[in-house]
Each structure stands twice: as structure tokens, then as C-alpha cells.
Amino acid sequence: MLRYLGQRLLEAAVVLLAMSFLIYLLLGLMPGDPIDLLASGDPNITSADLARLKAVYGLDRPLLERYGHWLRGALAGDFGYSRLYALPVTELMAPRLGNTALLMGLSFVLALLLALPAGVLAAVRQRSWLDYGLNLFAFAGISLPSFWLALLLILLFAVTLGWLPAGGVHAVGDDSLGNRALHLVLPVLTLTLLTIGGVLRFTRGAMLEALRQDYIRTARAKGLGPWGVVVGHALRNAMIPVVTILALNFGSLFSGALIVEQMFAYQGMGKMIYDAILGNDFNLALVGLLFATLLTLLSNLGADVVYAWLDPRISYAD
């Protein structure tokens, strides 16, 4: 198992290296650079100034040379400066990483706690009113655009009712736990509602498939109670495809948080990457996107490990 994990981590490192090159290339090949954008907003800036600034920021050098320079720095732990915020990229990312982890973690756990039992219930009570109701809820969650749901919740809970803050991580001058928690409610609720639908539908589908298997009939014939069969036999087997979806979902939750973070002015990674790409902040965008890649790779590795735990037939032993 350890060797397997080591091998997968090595593969992940190679993928990250390749991705860093690819992303750097794509960002560098995009038309315009930060200095061009500066020129469009400054009537006084001269052509000589533009040329000088491009040289100062190294933007006049070939792309490959710039990548080599960045990579050498990154391997030594220096990921460069953000042009948008004039701070070291790592210093900028740390608090945002924490914010997004909190937002994602909470909404992910909440979505699982609600969607897994709901999916199981919908499968066990197939074609009942409960099933129809849960399906309706799931489809609503899947089809609602995230920005619209966010706006709706802001209008309802912040503008109309005035119960919750409309956005931000905490109130200015009050970063107490309670205040932070209050600011998390709406973004977490939005992300949870958006995530539940998919997980519920997959769980229901996988459970229906599992409940039709021969070993379920055998378990029932052995005299196990209905919930004993569902929890002890069907659920565990149904979880394998669900875990795959969850692992993929975890990665997409990261990018899905982009719109939610944007709407709630929540200082997280998704918003940071978005701003960085729009603002031609190469270093920040690159490191943010690499982190998203790393997260997807790790969540898939985690899913593989969970498979082995769920199904003893899957083994990564040498």
C-alpha cells in the first residue's frame, strides 16, 4: 500500500510539473499583459514608460526563459510576487486557502450528511411521495445557477429579513469566531444546496442498483431486517461509484466556489484565481491553478484508498 501511495504521489508530482509548464504557457500566450492593461487606463503613460515597465517586470523576455526563472524560484520555495496585490503569492494564498477550506469543508460535509441519507431513503422508498419530493429538490439544486441562488439568498436573508450579512469574511473590526460563522452561513448554504442534488441522485441510483443484486436477496433470505440489509450490505457496495463522484465533486467544489465567493465577496481561492486571471497576475493565477490541480489529484488518490476500504476485493498490495 505504501509503495502504491508513493508511486501515486510521484505521478502527481510529474503531473504538477507538466501542468505548471502548460498553465504558464497558456497564461503567457494570452493576448495582453499587465502593462498593456495599465496603458489603457492611464492617459499620461508614454511608450517609453511601457517599454521600461515591461523590462522591469521581465515581460520583455522569452516565455520559456520566464518559465525557467519561475520554476527555479518555485523549487526553492519562492513562488514570486502577486502583481495584483503586490505581496508574495504564498503570503496572499494562506488566509484564502483557510477560508476556502472552511467554506468547502463545511458545505461538503453538510451536503454529505443530508444527501447520503436522503439518497438512501429515496431508493428504499422508490416511487413514493418521499422519493418524488427528494428528486424534485435534487433537480432544483442541480439546475439552479449558482449566482442566482446566491443573489436570491442575499436578498432574502440580508436585504429583506436583515438576519445575515450580505457578504465578506467578517465584519470590519470584528473577526471573532461568531462573526465569522455568521458570514459563512449564506455561502455555505448556497454551496450545500448546489451540491446536494448531484450526490443525492447518485446515491439513489447506486442504491437502487445494489438493492437489485443477488447478495441482497440472500441477505434478506437469511432473515436480516430491512435496514440491516440496506446499511450492512447495499450501502457499502453502493458507495464505490458514489465515492468516485464525490472525489470529482471535491475538485469541482473548489472551482464552483468561484462564483459563490464572487457573489458573497468572500476572500477565497476561487475568487483569487478568477481575479488573477482577469488581472493578468501570472504568478498568482499559476499557483492557484496548480493548487486546484493538486487538490483534484489528491482527492482522487483519497478515493482510491477508500475503494480498498469499502471493497476488500480491491487491493493495492505489492
Partner 1 sequence: MGRLFALTMAAAALLGLALPGAGAAGAAQAEARNELVIGITQFPSTLHPNIDSMVAKSYVLGMAQRPFTAYDQDWQLACFLCTGLPTFENGRAVREPLPEGVEGHGERDGVALTYTIQPGATWGDGTPVSTDDVLFTYEVGKHPDSGISNAELYRRILGIDAIDEKTFVVHADRITFDYNGLGDFRVLPAHLERAIFEADPSTYRNRTRFNTDPTNPGLWFGPYRVSEVVSGSHIALEANPTWWGTPPHFRRIVVKVVENTAALEANLLSGAIDMIAGELGLTLDQALAFEQRHGDQFRVHYQPGLLYEHIEVNLDNPILADLRVRKALMLGLDREAMSQQLFQGRQPVADTKVSPLDWVYDDDVTKYHEDLAAAAALLDGAGWSDIRNGIRHNAAGEPLQLELMTTAGNRTRELVEQVLQSQWRRLGIDVRIRNEPARVFFGQTLDERRFTGLAMFAWSSMPEHVPRTILHSEEIPTAANNWAGQNYAGYVNPEVDQLIDAIEIELDRDKREAMWHRLQEIYAEELPGLPLYFRADAHIWPKWLDGIRPTGHMFPSTLWVEQWGAGTG
Q: Which residue type, as a one-letter code, is found at position 27?
A: L
- The secondary structure of 202-246, three-state, reads HHHHHHHHHHCCHHHHHHHHCCCCHHHHHHHHHHHHHHHHHHHHH
> Which of 168, 205, 241, 302 is close enough to bind partner 1 by CB under 8 A?
168
What is the DSSP code (8-state) at residue 170? S
CA-closest candidate to residue 153, choices 180, 174, 183, 124: 183
Residue with cell 467544489: 253
Q: State the Cα–Cα distance between residues 314 and 110, nearest whole angstrom.
A: 29
> Which of 9, 13, 22, 46 is close enough to bind partner 1 by CB under 8 A?
46
Q: Is 166 in the site for partner 1 (CB under 8 A)?
A: yes
24 CB-side CA count, 13 A: 21
Q: What is the greatest pairwise CA distance in the chain?
A: 86
Quick one: which segment of 110-118, 135-143, 213-221, 262-270 binds partner 1 (CB under 8 A)? Answer: 262-270
Bridge partners of residue 88, in order along the sequence: 81
Q: Which is nearer to partner 1, 6 or 32 (CB)?
A: 32
Q: Which is nearer to partner 1, 84 or 211 (CB)?
A: 84
Q: Is 102 in the site for partner 1 (CB under 8 A)?
A: no
Q: Is 62 in the site for partner 1 (CB under 8 A)?
A: no
CB of 115 to partner 1, least distance (A): 23
Q: Is 263 in the site for partner 1 (CB under 8 A)?
A: yes
Q: Is 265 in the site for partner 1 (CB under 8 A)?
A: yes
Q: Is 278 in the site for partner 1 (CB under 8 A)?
A: yes
On whether the CB atoms of residues 268 and 288 are closer than 8 A, the answer is no
> Which of 30, 64, 113, 181 is close enough to bind partner 1 by CB under 8 A?
30
Q: Is 233 in the site for partner 1 (CB under 8 A)?
A: no
C-alpha cell at position 139:
433537480
3 state SS of 88: strand
* Window 68-87: residues binding partner 1 (CB under 8 A): 81, 83-87
Q: Which is nearer to partner 1, 241 or 279 (CB)?
A: 279
CB of 9 to partner 1, least distance (A): 32
CB of 255 to partner 1, least distance (A): 17
Q: Is 41 in the site for partner 1 (CB under 8 A)?
A: yes
Q: Is 309 in the site for partner 1 (CB under 8 A)?
A: no
Q: Is 44 in the site for partner 1 (CB under 8 A)?
A: yes
Q: Is 136 in the site for partner 1 (CB under 8 A)?
A: no
Q: Is 159 in the site for partner 1 (CB under 8 A)?
A: yes
31 CB-side CA count, 13 A: 0
**171-187 b/e with 16+ CB inside 10 Å = b?**
eeeeeeeebbebbbebb
What is the DSSP code (8-state) at residue 154? I
In the complex, which residues of this chain contact partner 1 (CB under 8 A)? 30-33, 36-53, 56-57, 81, 83-88, 92, 147-148, 150-152, 154-156, 158-163, 165-169, 172-173, 262-265, 267, 271-272, 275, 278-280
